[in-house]
Amino acid sequence: MCIVTSGSYINGVKEKEETGDFNYQVDRFGEISVLRYQLPDFKSLSLKEKEFVFYLSEAALCGRDIQWDQNFKYNLRIRKTLEGILTSYTGDKNCKDFKAFIAYAKGVFFANGIHHHYSNDKFIPDFSPDYFASLINDSDLLALPLDEQQSKSDLIKKLTPILFDTTLYANKVNTARDCDIVASSAVNFYHGVSREDVINYYASFVDPSDHSPISRGLNSRVVKENNSIIEIPYRSGGLYGAAIDKIICWLEKAKLVAMSEVQAREIELLIDYYKTGDLKTWDAFNVLWAGDTGNTVDFINGFIETYSDPLGMKANWEALVEYKDAEATKRTAVITANAQWFEDNSPVNPSYRKENVTGISASVINVAMLGGDSYPASPLGINLPNADWIREKVGSKSVSLANITNAIDIASQGSGMLEEFAYDQREIDRAKKFATIASALHTDFHECIGHASGKLASGTDPNALQNYALTLEEARADLFALYYLMDKKLISIGLVPSSEVGKAEYDSFIRNGLLTQIARIKQGKNIEEAHMRDRAAISHWVYEKGRNNNVIEIIKKDNKTFVKINDYYKLRDLFGKMLYEIQRIKSEGDYEAGRTLIETYGVRIDQALHTEILERYSKLNLAPYSGFVNPVLAPVTDASGTITDVKVEYCSDYLGQMMEYGNKYAFLPVNNEMK
């Protein structure tokens, strides 16, 4: 049963909607800065729209346990243990070890588990196993996740090697070339199967004549039982059913106040999909959802992105609730109105262009609630659905997250990052003048047009690129955006005042891809995350291909490394040539070419350069990662229980929100780990 409540945080820290100055940062620990985001113009929404947002937001929070369990099979037990210690520990809370425990707990909450949200490496506590045992022993037995007849010592024995052994479950997603990336990944999509098992299993379903294939494997776990491979679907009454039923409950309420009959039908299909696990129903929902573009309030809810699957097939659960920024959406409307021109003039093989670009919708939106894989670390732009055949036949919807981007931009002002890593004052001045619009346009083109462009050759298996598919797709969208940011077309349609905007983005992208993004990676590690590999591959490829013409120069100045773009127009040509090749790789499903490109240009890091960048970055005292606490949507009701308004309250207690979510939205058992 769904109960409408406004809730209260464990430490009682809430802030009502502010006017004037707004303090974005609420916490900082280690390499992470936790921010909050505003809901501009939320008061201007109609009561029906506010109520719709509220119900969808509750649905967005009810799947939190799913995300945790998908990330690692012991995550729920670990989280409940941390929560139990935080609420009932009776020992010294002022000592160094307890402060280290608090920092570790915050990191686990941020990552939705014990593996880093970006690098996928398991992070190890900065306190001893003995101290961990004392934390459990000095906590309330009833607050800990103990099975029947299980003692505290049993819990300590179970969790200690999982948390402290650096070789055990070391990577959530292992992308190393010389191992079984399925068996060696800790992510909870598979049990008892190898990469070969999974590939062979799904290969048996491939039908080249099927032009609208379901996203097979998207919403299931693959296991081996009695030497047979089977799938266990996520659905009501099945795997994750207890949480899915809560999501359904709130979706049922949302359906009653949907913005249109079409949107109500979308929610009906989504509910049916959650009840059955039927991927044809999921496709039917996405077809209808992609074509429904006129609503002020919209949502994402489901098993969607596949970045955490080493094979790029299985999806994490995520949710997001949004409402349109009408003024800013005028910019994306100009882009989508010219979508066919951009497709027709893209530097790819004409055979792999879309003859008719249909159904591309793009909006600038404000996020009202983040959930699942989008929380606490949020995307900045989204383009969905992911199925290539739906994109080609029906279209797609793209959104740029204005209030999320705004929060990050404002919180990072005056960081010194630009001054430290930009080559010269001209580059700095250009960035200060044009970087905001340049970055926004890059996101718009990446999401609106880049992901929606191109098509597969007839008979190409959508899963042919396997573990390289996501990186190649992100690179394809980035290259599409980069190519057009220096096109005179953007000036003629009023999107930019001059080519200086494109130059600002080229500076930023190449500086990041060759230098600054590796500040996020620990010394000695390779690049693992798909977006980082995409940016590295592009930057190193164009640098290498342009060396004879000195297109990009790597310069030492005052014993520091800088990059300098000498010819922006030749660089644009190189972006176009790389886009041509990556579109070919995708269209033809050329796995070997894709693997070679990414492994050659997107994975390895020069260790001397890495040391230098880490040292320079550390002096700035910046957090390389940021994420968010959600606002609280508090319904106001009359004597009959009818909602008469929905108020926005802004949280300033990161740990408090995590604890409340752990109490209020915990629906899955912690004793369901597969042995």
Q: At what angle do helices 425-444 and 469-485 cross, to 10 degrees?
A: 120
* pLDDT band, very low/low/confident/very high, at 108 (cuts 50, 70, 90): very high
Query: Using one digit for the tens of pLDDT, what is the confidence trace for 224-261?
Result: 999 999 999 999 999 999 999 999 999 999 999 999 99
Query: Exposed, middle or buried, 250 (CB in 10 Å: 0-12/13-18/19+)?
Result: buried
Q: What is the dihedral of CA 91, 96, 97, 101, to 10 degrees?
A: 100
Chain mean pLDDT for the chain: 93
Q: Compute the 3-state secondary structure of the chain and give helix, strand, coil in percent, each to the nearest 5.
A: 50, 15, 35
The CB-based long-range contact list for 460-464 (8 Å cut-off, 24+ gap) reads 460/587, 460/588, 460/589, 461/206, 461/208, 461/589, 462/213, 462/387, 462/388, 462/389, 463/202, 463/206, 463/311, 463/312, 463/313, 464/589, 464/590, 464/591
Q: Looking at residue 1, what is its pLDDT? A: 53
The two three-digit tokens of residue 72, written as one number:
């690692």
C-alpha closest to that of 357 among 281, 453, 282: 453
Query: Using one digit for the tens of pLDDT, what is the confidence trace for 35-85?
Result: 999 999 999 999 999 999 999 999 999 999 999 999 999 999 999 999 999
Kindly give the residue spans of alpha helices, DSSP state H, lying in 12-142: 47-61, 64-71, 75-88, 96-111, 129-137
Alpha-carbon 67 to chain mean position: 12
Can you tell me the mean pLDDT for 418-443?
94
Q: Looking at residue 671, what is its pLDDT? A: 76
Who contacts 278 (Cβ-Cβ below 8 Å, separation ≥6)?
272
Contact of 95 with 59, CB cutoff 8 Å: no
C-alpha closest to that of 512 among 570, 472, 565: 565
| CA dist., res. 475 & res. 264, Å (int) | 36
Can you tell me the mean pLDDT for 156-161?
98
| CA dist., res. 376 & res. 148, Å (int) | 33
Alpha-carbon 75 to chain mean position: 19
Kindly give the residue spans of alpha helices, DSSP state H, lying in 589-639: 591-601, 607-618
pTM: 0.86
Can you tell me the mean pLDDT for 461-475?
92
On the question of pLDDT at 7 being above 50, the answer is: no
Query: Using one digit for the tens of pLDDT, what is the confidence trace for 293-331?
Result: 989 999 999 999 999 999 999 999 999 999 999 888 888
561: number of Cβ within 10 Å: 17
Q: Looking at residue 176, what is its pLDDT? A: 82
Q: Looking at residue 327, what is its pLDDT? A: 85
DSSP class of residue 541?
H
* Bridge partner residues of 33 (DSSP): 28, 626
| CA dist., res. 281 & res. 265, Å (int) | 12
The two three-digit tokens of residue 646, written as one number:
């929905």
Q: Which region, left, alpha or beta, applies to residue 666 given φ > 0 means left and ψ of -120 to 50 means alpha?
A: beta
Can you tell me the mean pLDDT for 598-613?
96
Q: State the DSSP string of 646-658.
A: EEEEEE--HHHHH
Alpha-carbon 504 to chain mean position: 25
Tokens 């926005």 correspond to what residue?
648
Q: Looking at residue 14, what is its pLDDT? A: 40
Q: Looking at residue 674, what is its pLDDT? A: 56
Contact of 88 with 10, CB cutoff 8 Å: no
| CA dist., res. 250 & res. 441, Å (int) | 35
| CA dist., res. 40 & res. 6, Å (int) | 20
Contact of 622 with 557, CB cutoff 8 Å: no
